[in-house]
Structure 1
Amino acid sequence: MTGIKFAWSGLGGDAALLPRVSTVVREGALHGRLPVRELARACVAACALAGAELGARRGELVEVPRVRVDDGAVAAAFHSERHLLVDGRAPVSFAPLSRFWRTADGWVRTHANYPHHRAQLLDALGVPDDVAAVEAALAERTSLEVEEAVYAAGGLAVALRTPTEWAAHEQAAAVAARPLVERERIDSAHARVLAPVDGARLLPAAGLRVLDLTRVLAGPVATRTLALLGADVLRVDPPQLPELPDQHADTGFGKRSTTLDLAADRRTFEELLAAADVVVTGYRPGALDRFGLSPHALAERRPGVVVAQVSAWGAGGPWSGRRGFDSLVQVASGIAVVEGSLERPGALPAQALDHGTGYLLAAAVLRALTEQSYEGGSRFVRLALARTAEWLVNGIGAGATGDDSYDGPGPWLVETDSSLGRLRYALPPVSFAGGPADWARSPVPWGTDPARWS
């Protein structure tokens, strides 16, 4: 329970509720050199307990429902983007230019899944869209030269570092100085009055409107989880930046999807904000402030709002303004060396920084809603993939040996028909007595819903 206790404490949760959590520990699930299974279990357990706590508040229950976390369900969910099938077709994961590359003195990892990131990478290197050309150009430069040149061009490339090298970096120090979950009460808005929930399933977030301004992967996992728990989640994307279809399908369960130019369609956007209970953003810190989306600006216009932010590198330090993804944070933080070596870097068995941070972000929103119902106040919560990585490498520790084995994801994979086709997908791992076992709706094609609340 050490990891669960730490995560729950970081969320401001009452330690007296921890005995409500039980776990099914399965050997072989999310196996890695680092305690990935323990991190994943802790993040999901904290999220489920936060949901159960809010559910008890809204369901007027005497006790908080019991939470059960099964490593098998967690492992399947942390691989959800790999398990998705659309009409039997396996998803497209990483593009050809998203990979490790040898440099003159080591390795870099690039991320070029999106067309604009691919173009920026090629522009920085001055080469055509050809794997051999990229390989030759990178082999002539040092890792740090590549990192800086690609970043300057707006692209994404990170040099491989050991944990010791990362610990000496100014960004690592900035990340480690912050708590796992940053929480702030912004003002003295009145306590939130939450209508009681009633139905066959206990849905803690029923009736709450969540404006989802996130992309890849932690933010969408968080809002997918809030949708599971009953929230009306509307994902809003800029029309000029289409989401990758398979990625959108995997994280779109329970949500609606619309496109909106925040500058050109300002009136529509303000109408959405005016009725939102929760605003979740997944862009670089400060990137959306010009649209009035800073936590304090939102609280002034919408007293009692919960604002949740997630980023790759955190809100402080020299890299706070840089884009980033799970794979790149693994490379910078030393995880890729621990899971492989300097000669052949490796990776975690899942994109655990993304998924784990996503469940923690959802948990932070749920806890903020619970606290509001007692104490009032607009709330701000913030997490970063790099801070989750720091916890994995230096803080969580290995857990107990399990009595059960992990024989694969089969029991936690189901199928359904949807407007996208026949889907196979992983069931949600967040589970508590009386709570939902699956999403109420399947994902829809990107950008097909109107920009209004249902």
Structure 2
Amino acid sequence: MTEVMREGALQARLPVRELARACVGACARAAAELGARRAGLGEVPAVRVDDGAVTTAFVSERHLLINGRAPVNFAPLSRFWRTADGWVRTHANYPHHRERLLAVMGPPDSLEAAFAERSALEIEEAVYAAGGLAVALRTPQEWAAHPQAVAVAERPLAERARLDSARARAFTPLDGTPLLPAAGLRVLDLTRVIAGPVATRTLALLGADVLRLDAPRLPELPDQHADTGFGKRSATLDLAADRRTFDELLATADVVVTGYRPGALDRFGLSPRALAERRPGVVVAQLSAWGAYGPWRERRGFDSLVQVATGIAAVEGSVEQPGALPAQALDHGTGYLLAAEVLRALTEQSEEGGSRFVRLALARTAEWLMNGIPADSPGDASYDGPDAWLAETDSGIGRLRYALPPVSFAGGPTDWARPPGPWGADPARWA
């Protein structure tokens, strides 16, 4: 693998550049290996990872322009708040989370005083109990002693399991250019926000037919959907009211990716084993904020909140003035790792068979960043800005400026085959 290390890329106290490069590199290698197998190549295509492309992609939501308009990435109430004994970070980008936060803390014009009167942990528990999102700032030492941190650290970065003895996957051989390792594969995308959609956006880049499904009552934020919607189609489907349509989609799906809280979709028969029973040979990929284990397994979470809980915000700033990573690196990094695990599972299926299950968590990626990645040399070039890794295209939602994909290997794709369209505008059926 060729690595182009650029000084000034993703500058931080923690080794964020190294994490980003490792995640994208793992995805590119997995893609190249699957592509080589399907195309009958004698050797795996050479992989190239450039810090410039990686850095630009890891802040893709900031580079997006829609008809020249910059995106809205954080709502006014998604921020740090000073408490009686420290700091809390809230997340209120979605209207229902904003309403739940205000139900606990009071009207917007009195929030500063309301936060200042209560302890950080008290606010954390009260807001979560109401279905909102607020996390107290912790130091790395405080997080390491937390039961959730202990549970997370005991698990591998990527969990894998074989669910049954389904027969080996028979791929249609690939020919022509570009080499698309996931060509002909159907991916059901039941994810939201950034990490899961980054994973499925990457699978779409590599040739998969990706159909994103959302509940009609939970619309995605338009700018967020535009940034992560490249290569996909987007439909709405009520799983409770229209189970037949989902079953028809599942019947010919190759991969199901979910990004909701652990167990949240089980009542719809979407647990990994239930999916494998109904669709033998499927690959099920799950993503969560805090992990599917430990006392916080059912809690909602986002990258910014995981940074605060795990001590990252204290390291990047201090306990007196918390900071943040230069990108939502837990989201983006975990997204590329999830795509890599799906690709590896598909390769393994072609050799050994079996329905497959892979699972990652933002909190586990955070633990890897804090304790498992060594810093490397400053680099042999400099990052002089994103321009070389930005492109423009017309789309159904307007003229877009966007970050090009960082996953690169010899003969592989360099851009998505289609731009994003409006959220929920496509029919819930395969192309």
Normalised by the shorter chain, which TM-score bucket?
A: over 0.9
Letter matched to residue 64 of structure 1: V
1:263 maps onto 2:253 in alignment: no
In structure 2, stretches of 5+ residues that fail to align are none
Could you list the per-position Cα deviations for residues 154-206 of structure 1 after superposition, in whole angstroms to 9, with x for gaps in the alignment? 00000000000000000000000000000001111000000011222000000
| Pairwise CA distance, 1:401 | 2.7
TM-score of the superposed pair, with normalisation by structure 1: 0.95
SS at match of 1:215: coil
1:73 counterpart residue number: 53
Whether 2:72 is the aligned partner of 1:95: answer: no
Instruction: Report matched runs for 1:320-359 at 5 Å.
Output: 320-359=297-336
2:94 aligned residue: 114
Aligned partner of 1:366 in structure 2 is: 343
Give 3-state SS (helix, strand or coil) of 2:366's partner.
helix
Aligned residue in 2 for 1:236: 213
Q: What does the per-residue CA deviation read over 1:17-45, in whole Å, with 9 as the maximum and x for residues that have no partner? A: xxxx1100000000000000000000000
**Per the alignment, in what secondary structure is the counterpart of residue 212 of structure 2?**
strand
1:273-352 aligned within 5 A: 273-352=250-329
Q: Which deviates further from its counterpart, 191-200 or 378-387?
A: 191-200
The separation in 2 between residues aligned to 1:198 and 1:56, in whole angstroms, is: 11
Q: Measure, in 1, the Cα distance between the counterparts of 2:176 and 2:238.
A: 37
Mapped to 2, the partners of 1:173 and 1:252 lie a distance apart of 35
Which whole-Å CA distance do the structure 2 matches of 1:401 and 1:120 have between them?
Answer: 44
1:51 partner SS: helix
Correspondence 1:249 to 2:226: yes
Output the CA distance in 2 between the equivalents of 1:344 and 1:194.
53
Instruction: Please give the per-residue CA displacement for 1:329-381, whole angstroms capped at 9, x wherever unaligned.
Output: 00000000000001110000000000000000000000000000000000000
- Paired amino acid for 2:289: A
Q: Distance in 2 between matches of 1:135 and 1:93?
A: 22
Could you tell which deviates more after superposition, 345-354 or 190-199? Answer: 190-199
Shift of 1:269: 1.0
Match of 1:396 in 2: 373
Other-structure match for 1:12: none
Q: Which residue of 2 aligns with 1:123?
A: 103
1:85 aligns with: 65
The secondary structure found in structure 2 opposite 1:233 is strand
- The answer to whether structure 1 residue 272 and structure 2 residue 249 are counterparts is yes
Structure 1 residues without counterparts, runs of 5 or longer: 1-20
Q: What letter is aligned with 2:348?
A: E
Matched, 1:376 2:353: yes
Q: State the distance in 1 between where 2:19 and 2:376 align.
A: 9
Which one-letter code corresponds to 2:252 in the other structure?
A
Letter in 2 for 1:65: P
Percent of pairs identical after alignment? 81
Q: Distance in 2 between matches of 1:144 and 1:381?
A: 33
SS at match of 2:305: helix
* Counterparts of 1:167 and 1:380, CA distance in 2: 28
Q: Which one of 14, 18, 31 corresponds to residue 34 of structure 1?
A: 14
Q: Give the whole-Å Cα distance in 1 for the aligned partners of 2:153 and 2:163.
A: 23
Residues of 1 paired with 2:288 and 2:376: CA distance? 28
Query: 1: CA distance between counterparts of 2:377 and 2:361?
Result: 27
The amino acid that maps onto 1:318 is: P
Residue 413 of structure 1 corresponds to 390
Q: Partner of 1:109: helix, strand, or coil?
A: strand
Aligned length: 431
Q: Deviations over 1:221-257 (max 9, x none)?
A: 0000000000000000000011000000000000000
The letter of the residue matching 1:77 is A
Query: Residues 98-177 of structure 1: matches in 2 within 5 Å?
Result: 98-125=78-105, 127-128=106-107, 130=108, 132-177=109-154
The alignment status of 1:45 with 2:25, answered yes or no, reads yes
- State the AA in 2 paired with 1:45: G
Displacement of 1:110 in angstroms is: 0.1
Q: Could you tell me how far apart the structure 2 residues matched to 1:115 and 1:281 are?
A: 22
Task: Provide, for residues 23-77 of structure 1, a one-character-per-residue CA deviation record: whole Å limited to 9, x for no partner.
Answer: 0000000000000000000000000000000000111100000000000000000
TM-score (structure 2 length as normaliser): 1.00
Aligned to 2:165: 188
Give the secondary-structure state (helix, strand or coil) at the position aligned to 1:438. Answer: coil
Q: SS where residue 392 of structure 2 aligns?
A: strand
Cα deviation for residue 400 of structure 1 reads 2.3
Secondary structure of 1:415 counterpart: strand
Q: 1:15 is matched with which residue?
A: none
Q: 1:373-412: per-residue Cα shift (whole Å, max 9, x none)?
A: 0000000000000000000001111012311000011100
Looking at structure 2, the residues matched to 67 and 397 of structure 1 have their Cα atoms a distance apart, in angstroms, of 21
How many Å separate the matches in 2 of 1:198 and 1:288? 38
Q: List 4+ stretches of structure 1 deviating above 2 A.
A: none
Q: Report the secondary structure of 1:368's partner residue.
A: helix
